Protein backbone atom coordinates (compact mmCIF):
# COMPACT_ATOMS: atom_id res chain seq x y z
CA UNK A 1 0.00 0.00 0.00
CA UNK A 2 2.92 2.35 0.61
CA UNK A 3 3.89 2.18 -3.08
CA UNK A 4 0.45 3.07 -4.39
CA UNK A 5 0.54 6.05 -6.76
CA UNK A 6 4.34 6.08 -7.08
CA UNK A 7 6.38 5.46 -10.22
CA UNK A 8 8.92 2.64 -10.44
CA UNK A 9 11.71 5.25 -10.23
CA UNK A 10 10.23 6.78 -7.06
CA UNK A 11 9.90 3.35 -5.49
CA UNK A 12 13.48 2.42 -6.40
CA UNK A 13 14.74 5.65 -4.85
CA UNK A 14 13.10 4.70 -1.54
CA UNK A 15 14.85 1.32 -1.37
CA UNK A 16 18.38 0.36 -0.37
CA UNK A 17 20.99 0.60 -3.12
CA UNK A 18 21.45 -3.18 -2.83
CA UNK A 19 17.84 -3.82 -3.91
CA UNK A 20 16.82 -4.23 -7.55
CA UNK A 21 13.17 -3.26 -7.86
CA UNK A 22 11.43 -4.99 -10.75
CA UNK A 23 8.14 -3.47 -11.85
CA UNK A 24 7.26 -5.04 -15.18
CA UNK A 25 10.96 -5.26 -15.95
CA UNK A 26 13.80 -7.75 -15.99
CA UNK A 27 17.41 -8.07 -14.96
CA UNK A 28 20.05 -10.70 -15.61
CA UNK A 29 21.50 -12.17 -12.42
CA UNK A 30 24.16 -14.89 -12.52
CA UNK A 31 23.19 -15.54 -16.14
CA UNK A 32 19.47 -15.92 -15.41
CA UNK A 33 16.83 -13.60 -16.84
CA UNK A 34 14.65 -12.56 -13.88
CA UNK A 35 11.37 -10.73 -14.56
CA UNK A 36 9.29 -9.14 -11.82
CA UNK A 37 5.77 -7.77 -11.80
CA UNK A 38 3.78 -6.58 -8.76
CA UNK A 39 0.29 -6.93 -10.27
CA UNK A 40 -2.44 -9.08 -8.83
CA UNK A 41 -6.11 -9.64 -9.45
CA UNK A 42 -8.52 -7.39 -7.63
CA UNK A 43 -9.93 -8.98 -4.52
CA UNK A 44 -11.92 -7.58 -1.64
CA UNK A 45 -9.16 -5.90 0.32
CA UNK A 46 -8.24 -2.36 1.37
CA UNK A 47 -4.92 -2.86 -0.42
CA UNK A 48 -5.47 -1.74 -4.00
CA UNK A 49 -1.94 -0.94 -5.19
CA UNK A 50 -1.06 -2.87 -8.35
CA UNK A 51 -4.47 -4.51 -8.69
CA UNK A 52 -6.52 -5.00 -11.81
CA UNK A 53 -9.61 -7.07 -12.52
CA UNK A 54 -8.53 -10.64 -13.30
CA UNK A 55 -10.07 -10.24 -16.77
CA UNK A 56 -7.56 -7.47 -17.62
CA UNK A 57 -4.35 -9.01 -16.30
CA UNK A 58 -3.53 -11.15 -19.34
CA UNK A 59 -3.68 -8.33 -21.90
CA UNK A 60 -2.17 -5.62 -19.71
CA UNK A 61 0.41 -7.55 -17.68
CA UNK A 62 1.02 -11.25 -18.36
CA UNK A 63 1.30 -10.82 -22.14
CA UNK A 64 4.29 -8.50 -21.55
CA UNK A 65 6.35 -11.11 -19.71
CA UNK A 66 9.25 -11.86 -22.07
CA UNK A 67 9.33 -15.40 -23.39
CA UNK A 68 13.03 -15.67 -22.45
CA UNK A 69 12.21 -15.21 -18.73
CA UNK A 70 13.91 -17.88 -16.66
CA UNK A 71 12.81 -16.76 -13.18
CA UNK A 72 9.44 -15.08 -12.73
CA UNK A 73 8.64 -13.07 -9.59
CA UNK A 74 4.98 -12.14 -9.14
CA UNK A 75 2.84 -10.91 -6.28
CA UNK A 76 0.16 -13.56 -6.54
CA UNK A 77 0.41 -17.20 -7.59
CA UNK A 78 -0.76 -18.85 -10.76
CA UNK A 79 -4.09 -20.58 -10.17
CA UNK A 80 -3.69 -24.08 -8.65
CA UNK A 81 -0.08 -23.45 -7.61
CA UNK A 82 0.00 -22.77 -3.83
CA UNK A 83 -3.47 -21.28 -4.21
CA UNK A 84 -6.63 -22.37 -2.45
CA UNK A 85 -8.79 -24.97 -4.24
CA UNK A 86 -11.10 -22.29 -5.65
CA UNK A 87 -8.36 -20.12 -7.21
CA UNK A 88 -9.51 -17.11 -5.23
CA UNK A 89 -6.10 -15.45 -5.28
CA UNK A 90 -4.31 -17.24 -8.11
CA UNK A 91 -4.79 -16.29 -11.74
CA UNK A 92 -5.71 -18.78 -14.47
CA UNK A 93 -4.18 -16.60 -17.20
CA UNK A 94 -0.89 -16.42 -15.27
CA UNK A 95 -0.92 -20.23 -15.01
CA UNK A 96 -1.38 -20.45 -18.79
CA UNK A 97 1.44 -17.96 -19.36
CA UNK A 98 3.80 -19.94 -17.14
CA UNK A 99 2.92 -23.28 -18.74
CA UNK A 100 2.61 -22.29 -22.39
CA UNK A 101 4.64 -19.21 -23.30
CA UNK A 102 7.42 -18.54 -20.80
CA UNK A 103 10.26 -21.05 -20.53
CA UNK A 104 11.10 -20.96 -16.84
CA UNK A 105 14.07 -22.73 -15.29
CA UNK A 106 12.93 -25.95 -13.64
CA UNK A 107 10.20 -24.17 -13.80
CA UNK A 108 10.76 -21.53 -11.14
CA UNK A 109 8.12 -19.00 -10.19
CA UNK A 110 8.43 -16.93 -7.03
CA UNK A 111 5.30 -15.27 -5.74
CA UNK A 112 4.73 -13.36 -2.56
CA UNK A 113 1.08 -13.98 -1.82
CA UNK A 114 -0.48 -17.37 -1.32
CA UNK A 115 -3.15 -19.21 0.64
CA UNK A 116 -2.47 -22.33 2.66
Q: Radius of gyration over alpha carbons of the chain, in Å?
A: 14
Evaluate whether residue 85 is within a structural domain.
yes
Q: Which residues have CB under 8 Å from 3's CB, separation 6+?
A: 11, 38, 49, 50
Average pLDDT on 65-88 reads: 79
Number of structural domains found in the chain = 1
> Residue 76 region, left (φ>0) first, then alpha (ψ -120 to 50), else beta?
beta
Which domain does 62 fall in, by range? 30-111
Evaluate whether residue 86 is within a structural domain.
yes
Evaluate whether residue 7 is within a structural domain.
no
Evaluate whether residue 43 is within a structural domain.
yes
Evaluate whether residue 68 is within a structural domain.
yes
> With 80 as the cut, is the pLDDT of residue 114 above it?
no
* Tens-place pLDDT, residues 34-76: 999 988 888 777 777 888 998 999 999 999 999 888 888 888 7
Average pLDDT over the chain reads: 81
Evaluate whether residue 116 is within a structural domain.
no
Amino acid sequence: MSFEGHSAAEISDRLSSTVIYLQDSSVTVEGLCVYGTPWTGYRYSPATAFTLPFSELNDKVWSRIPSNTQVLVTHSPPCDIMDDPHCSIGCKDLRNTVHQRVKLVSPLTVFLHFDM
